[in-house]
Structure 1
């Protein structure tokens, strides 16, 4: 008996088959009744045989003892099986062939808000009705029962209850035991499944659709639009200067910025539009049911507009813009892959055109994209093979035409294409990260050249070195600059660093910190292209800047344009009032030089005074 009990309990715990439990309990009940009946008969027979021989009475006594032992074992078996049912996490109910409850456990009672007395006095039909009315869709139970009318059938269903719970039901129609039900509360499991499903299709940071879900929605939209002959558009967005903020203020601030960007995009677009995050600082937008080209333009401009307001991050206002590439179905592609690729290509064109704008895809952009890829390969090889060189353009004191120093300018000459301009290869180097090793090479090379000229007697010569946006984000920038100067054996006064307004404004407080440290060492700080960026006078007064450089766009027409003369004059006055020196770039005529001198401009550089030249030729006019 105990071996049978052990086997049955183990089987139940590993993979319960409620029909077998019911059958087992029925058999136990029959065994118990048979034993109890036989025991009573033997005791009566023993009383009738009191006068018979000793051997006969001993036989009866032995038989009674054996039956009593069997009775104890049966009671223990029933008790253990009952305990096993109660220990189950499932609710178990067995309705016999006579439509009466045979077996049920506490979990079943609690799961369906019943009580033992009511169940014991009710039929199976009564119990089914109480279960049915608790379902959000009561007809499901009726359908369930119809599916298991034939003995041997079994069905698995899920019930959504009116109170929000989800119950899994497995019923077997057992030929002997009747209807055997197992109920399991899977509410939490379903919630977890939903969380996992959501995480698989949404970005963990912003909760926007991820690349997979966005692709699915785009594919679905394309399938739908084939039947309606309509149009749709895809935006591919990239945040301008995001890495500056991420690297300088930390990933937590960068993450918060991405969250705020996601919210703004979701708020500004239509309800039927889909905003997704591809990863990093790249977002996509799916626009369905667009009203021609003008409708796409309006939405693109609306997206650009939401970035004009500052973002509040860690108690400070930060500005960031976006570049948008636009691809329209069917002209720019008829598949998910083509539309996303072409929108991405158009986005890079928007960046090349100055950022903070949008650009529609054209077939010519595809050719440009292939050319860009080829340029990237060439650029990597050029960095590896040391194909770059520095040219130097003189910077002169305007009042006496004496040499102040040079600006170091990067040049790349290829065998098959000749010189490739910095305006072409520098953006590619920036986007690929190659600008960092390239910028470090420029820094070290320019410092070593300064040492050559110092040894020639130009003790106070100053070399102006341009820093890229990515260089300015480097955590070890200060150490790299100091090491380059010391390794070259020159003084800190022999170096000037040129930065732009946009670089500084990405992280004003961080910029002030690094620039202050560099300036305290004796390195001159120059604000390049002043007037073309943010031109925040509020911040300019707090920045540790020694020199303002008037951009060539204001110098070019200074003799013809009243407005340009006013701007150039204002910059000179502003700089002097802030105790800064002024350098005018792009001076190409005597008339421009004379005007600048009349306004007390301090220094000039441009083709009128000297073109960028290799170091030997650049220094030659100033040797004597």
Structure 2
């Protein structure tokens, strides 16, 4: 029945179609025969053809048979009735051919479901309107061979007109049928749903009125001008944009009818103004009008449907997102690169991250330090292999808290490729915790120190733990299923157990002491607790019993009671026991009459910390035990020895005076001379002892302890390995120290500090080369307090930081004052303490202070001691390098007195080494100090480091240091530390060293005459005065030695026989102290043996006899001065060679440092250039780097690809490879864009000079697509 109904419906539709088409054809035939429409005789047949095409496209090829039958019927009618008047092939044959084409294609054409996009409409216009409509002109063109040339031209024009008319017919009917027949594509129009309910009627009226005015010359009297044809196209396009489809099609139909009406009447726009081509122009205009309007309609519909579909997709996605947000598991999706693309609400709540923090990030955001690497590897393998996986891993929330995550990962495939990954996160922390709790409960049960037994409601054993088996010796297999009665010892009455169970029934638990029997029959005392376990119905399901061994507890209590008065390590009495004993003894002594004394000794092991640090603490503990055993040998019965803690012991002698105490203290120190064998270590240690006496030092317990402790500290400070009795001076010193600490806190605020400046003198030039700032404290009551007294206190108590800050600020303030006064201020060296040097903010504070006073680091120097470097050499090296890079001069102070590591001079970049004054004080040419000083100078100079000598107090020291190439001196010989105003005075005076003390002094000739006879001295003086010598005289060897201490002497003439000291003894002493002098002996009394020995030993240069020959004596003296002159010249040359060597060493050092610095900078630049090169190589913009000769020095991947046709490579000449590009670069100014054509591509080039200075080092050329 359904098929029959469908057959009847299709048959009815085909009959209706045939009748409508026949009516259109008959109307066309009648109009043709009547010859009433000279301009429209072609339009109606083509419109009928268009109607047929539209029906066949909309309803399918099954209507082709109706079209063939109808066309055949019409052919028969027209050939019989209208053959004389109407050309059959022009009107009916196209429909017949159309029907045959569609009949042949029946079953091969796609099903049409309405115009749903502009592509379908354009396809119809091309196929239906453009190709199928060619049937009309083809039929007309067949007549060309039978007509004259003039008729043939008219036929061609008519054919084109007919083709356009057929296309217009298709465009007229196809949209109407499509909109009407396909209900799902029709637009239902009401005033509510109309896009513009006010605009649509208005635009319709305006369009119809404009059509009437344009085609029928309506209101011609009022509108004299002719409205342009594009106005109508504009109005219809505007209607298509703002109105619905059906109203626009209706308006388009009305406009088409207006055009048809004006053409049928032989009037209007096209007939009056274009009479020769009115028909073809009208059809062309109608095609443009119809096509433009319809393409806008369908483009608008396509956009509307696209927006609607996008809205539906968005709605669906929102529904899905809401569905995902509704589930409790966290969901995360990533792209193929593992970048997060979506997370749901549960995931955000689980991880505490927001969308903005997650999207686009990597999947490892939840990974932390404790995340299992094996679990992460499983995920990585699944991602790489694109397979599902499920893994448990520890993840981290945003706040750092952790949670256990059950992660299920699945890849999502699209067309065989992985499109994304979906990960479901499930918080299983509770499950892991539950598993851990169960495991923990099992561990607690098994490892509980109490014995545990669990029974059922009938008191039959179910479980016992390990401790129960250890206490009772019963295993679970022995006792399982039995009642605890097997543990009964028989020591309790039956009523005991009845009361116990009665209490359990009433209260649910019982606890008390009980005596049980072990498996072996022995008895044991326990504390038993029994608890009843009930279910929700309050029914007893189990009993839990816990045993605790009371014997162990009581033993522990007894042991604790004993340990209250014992030292656990040594077994000696502890402080509590000692205090009780001393207190009791003192009370007894107070009650006794007569002189009674007691002594308290506090002993501390020297350097015990080194034992712990080097050999470990267990060796230190063993050593303390050995010390306690050895001290026990000197303890009498009435004495008490205790260990205070650490390495401190106390010994109380209740009946001992000073003599007995001294003897015991000496015995103890002697006992420490023997080594202690601890395991395989033979240890030698010493001890310090402080002693307080009763009643001399104190009659109270606390007083004795305090006095003994003060004495101990004094013993340690005095060199250790000794004992000292307490004295009042110790307490006074301690009190003074405490008071000094309090005063030191306020010294800075009260402005009690001031700085003195001691000059540093350059031996070569003799000028002041710098100052050392020295802190002085002038207390209004205590007077001047030396730095050696308060600096250690400041170091120990941490006050040194504030003091050091004050010193640096004051020094900067003084330097600024000098500079403002126009005085050239050499650098001022400031001592930094270890505490200051370890301050992490020190450098920033120094920079801030320097900036405050507008100074440079070159105005200041920094002095540190070796002790500063020993704490942390690596950090010290970093700090020193930062100070040196800033421009500070670095000096190593007090070198030779401390650790004196030679590696420090190599490792740390010091500019200057200061030799401690202890080596300078006793300096002479032959002693050990001189050897040490010379070694330090030579070693420092070989490393390119300057050397300064501290404490230079006389010219002899200065000359020795000068001759050994010291660079600078500091000491009272030149100047003591001066207050600031006096410092400014010596700078204004330009004070310098005397010329004879300079490294290269001016040549002077000084002669010393020594004789005990004044007339001999006067005669010699008269003789040599005319030779221009500076003459000094002395009447004894002792007087001459004093002169030599003060003056530089070249030649000495001495008598042999002088009272108190002979000439040989004197000259031998001079040779030792002043070896550079030339020594002559002039005497009439000669001991040839002693003189000969002196000459052989070099003490005497030449021996002359009295009386003398004046000329020979003068010649000998002249020869001695020449010899001295040659020796001085050689010495000067040697000094200059050493100085040159030192300057070369300094230059080499500076060069090495500069090279190291430059190499480091070059390494950084090279790394940066490699990074830049890689970045430029992979950038999307084509880049070329050219040197000054136009050779390609750099080319990135984009440029290689762009110029692949010419195979452009690194090192080629651009002028040879791309001459056009080279010429364009040469012609174009820098940074100016210029167009360039290459391989049909429009490009833009720009070039820039390379190099930061005025001299260019090449060009960089960028090539980019030309912007249009």
Task: Pick the TM interval, shorter chain.
Answer: 0.5 to 0.7
Shifted more, 541-550 versus 608-617: the winner is 541-550
Q: Which runs of 5+ in 2 are unaligned?
A: 1-449, 494-510, 530-544, 589-596, 632-641, 654-660, 990-1268
1:484 deviation in Å? 2.3
Aligned to 1:553: 918
Aligned to 1:215: 575
Please give the TM-score of this superposition, normalised by the length of structure 2: 0.31
Question: For each residue in 1:347-370, what CA deviation from the matched residue of structure 2 results, as whole angstroms up to 9, or x when unmatched?
Answer: 5546755x7776635312111111
Residue 270 in 1 paired to residue 627 in 2? yes
Question: For each residue in 1:557-583, what CA deviation from the matched residue of structure 2 results, as whole angstroms up to 9, or x when unmatched?
Answer: 113871222222222222212211111
1:469–1:122 distance in 2 versus 1, CA, 3 Å:
closer
* Structure 1 segment 115-514 matched on structure 2, within 5 A: 115=479, 124-125=489-490, 168-169=526-527, 183-184=547-548, 215-216=575-576, 218-219=578-579, 222=582, 233-235=601-603, 257=613, 260=616, 263-264=619-620, 267=623, 270-272=627-629, 284-286=648-650, 292-298=664-670, 326-327=690-691, 337-338=702-703, 340-346=705-711, 348-349=713-714, 360-363=724-727, 364-457=729-822, 459=824, 461-514=826-879
1:517 deviation in Å? 1.8
Secondary structure of the residue that 1:389 maps to in structure 2?
strand
1:495 deviation in Å? 1.4
1:412–1:287 distance in 2 versus 1, CA, 3 Å:
same
Secondary structure of the residue that 2:490 maps to in structure 1?
helix
Question: Which residue of the other structure, out of 529, 537, 548, is the alignment partner of 2:894?
Answer: 529
Question: For each residue in 1:487-529, what CA deviation from the matched residue of structure 2 results, as whole angstroms up to 9, or x when unmatched?
Answer: 2221112211111122222332332222222122221111111
1:118–1:492 distance in 2 versus 1, CA, 3 Å:
closer
Question: Quick check: 2:691–2:724 contact (8 Å CA) kept in 1?
Answer: yes
- CA distance in 2: counterparts of 1:460 and 1:492, whole angstroms: 13
Question: Quick check: 2:776–2:785 contact (8 Å CA) kept in 1?
Answer: yes
1:512–1:120 distance in 2 versus 1, CA, 3 Å:
closer
Question: Which residue of the other structure, out of 960, 969, 972, is the alignment partner of 1:595?
Answer: 960
Question: Quick check: 1:398–1:601 contact (8 Å CA) kept in 2?
Answer: yes
- CA distance in 1: counterparts of 2:913 and 2:755, whole angstroms: 23
Shifted more, 365-374 versus 556-565: the winner is 556-565
1:198–1:162 distance in 2 versus 1, CA, 3 Å:
farther
1:184 deviation in Å? 3.3
- CA distance in 1: counterparts of 2:674 and 2:843, whole angstroms: 40
Question: Which residue of the other structure, out of 923, 927, 932, is the alignment partner of 1:567?
Answer: 932
- CA distance in 2: counterparts of 1:431 and 1:192, whole angstroms: 44
Question: Quick check: 2:920–2:952 contact (8 Å CA) kept in 1?
Answer: yes
- CA distance in 2: counterparts of 1:162 and 1:455, whole angstroms: 101
Question: Quick check: 1:277–1:284 contact (8 Å CA) kept in 2?
Answer: yes
Shifted more, 262-271 versus 581-590: the winner is 262-271
Please give the TM-score of this superposition, normalised by the length of structure 1: 0.59
Question: Quick check: 1:391–1:615 contact (8 Å CA) kept in 2?
Answer: yes
Question: Quick check: 2:923–2:929 contact (8 Å CA) kept in 1?
Answer: yes
Secondary structure of the residue that 1:125 maps to in structure 2?
coil
- CA distance in 1: counterparts of 2:577 and 2:753, whole angstroms: 47
- CA distance in 2: counterparts of 1:112 and 1:483, whole angstroms: 77
- CA distance in 2: counterparts of 1:384 and 1:406, whole angstroms: 26
- CA distance in 2: counterparts of 1:608 and 1:423, whole angstroms: 22
Question: For each residue in 1:545-565, what CA deviation from the matched residue of structure 2 results, as whole angstroms up to 9, or x when unmatched?
Answer: 221111111111113871222
- CA distance in 2: counterparts of 1:455 and 1:616, whole angstroms: 14
Question: Which residue of the other structure, out of 973, 977, 983, is the alignment partner of 1:608?
Answer: 973
- CA distance in 1: counterparts of 2:851 and 2:553, whole angstroms: 64
Q: How many residues align?
A: 453
- CA distance in 1: counterparts of 2:606 and 2:841, whole angstroms: 26
1:122–1:432 distance in 2 versus 1, CA, 3 Å:
closer
1:90 deviation in Å? 8.6
Secondary structure of the residue that 1:532 maps to in structure 2?
coil
Question: For each residue in 1:407-429, what CA deviation from the matched residue of structure 2 results, as whole angstroms up to 9, or x when unmatched?
Answer: 11111112222211111111222
- CA distance in 2: counterparts of 1:518 and 1:158, whole angstroms: 79
1:450 deviation in Å? 2.0
Question: For each residue in 1:145-179, what CA deviation from the matched residue of structure 2 results, as whole angstroms up to 9, or x when unmatched?
Answer: xxxxxxxxx996999x999x9965389xxxxxxxx
1:492–1:560 distance in 2 versus 1, CA, 3 Å:
same
1:198–1:453 distance in 2 versus 1, CA, 3 Å:
farther
- CA distance in 2: counterparts of 1:494 and 1:568, whole angstroms: 29
Question: For each residue in 1:72-104, what CA deviation from the matched residue of structure 2 results, as whole angstroms up to 9, or x when unmatched?
Answer: xxxxxxxxxxxxxxxxx9989xxxxxxxxx999
Question: Quick check: 2:515–2:526 contact (8 Å CA) kept in 1?
Answer: yes
Question: For each residue in 1:208-235, what CA deviation from the matched residue of structure 2 results, as whole angstroms up to 9, or x when unmatched?
Answer: 89xxx953254367579999x9976323
1:467–1:401 distance in 2 versus 1, CA, 3 Å:
same
Secondary structure of the residue that 1:385 maps to in structure 2?
coil
Question: Quick check: 2:826–2:859 contact (8 Å CA) kept in 1?
Answer: yes
- CA distance in 2: counterparts of 1:534 and 1:166, whole angstroms: 67
Q: Which runs of 5+ in 1 are unaligned?
A: 1-88, 93-101, 129-153, 172-180, 243-253, 310-320
1:404 deviation in Å? 0.9
1:593 deviation in Å? 1.3
1:609–1:199 distance in 2 versus 1, CA, 3 Å:
farther
- CA distance in 1: counterparts of 2:889 and 2:687, whole angstroms: 33
User: Which structure is richer in relative contact order (CA contacts within 8 A, separation 6 or more)?
Assistant: 1
Question: Quick check: 1:235–1:343 contact (8 Å CA) kept in 2?
Answer: no
1:450–1:579 distance in 2 versus 1, CA, 3 Å:
same
Question: Quick check: 2:923–2:930 contact (8 Å CA) kept in 1?
Answer: yes
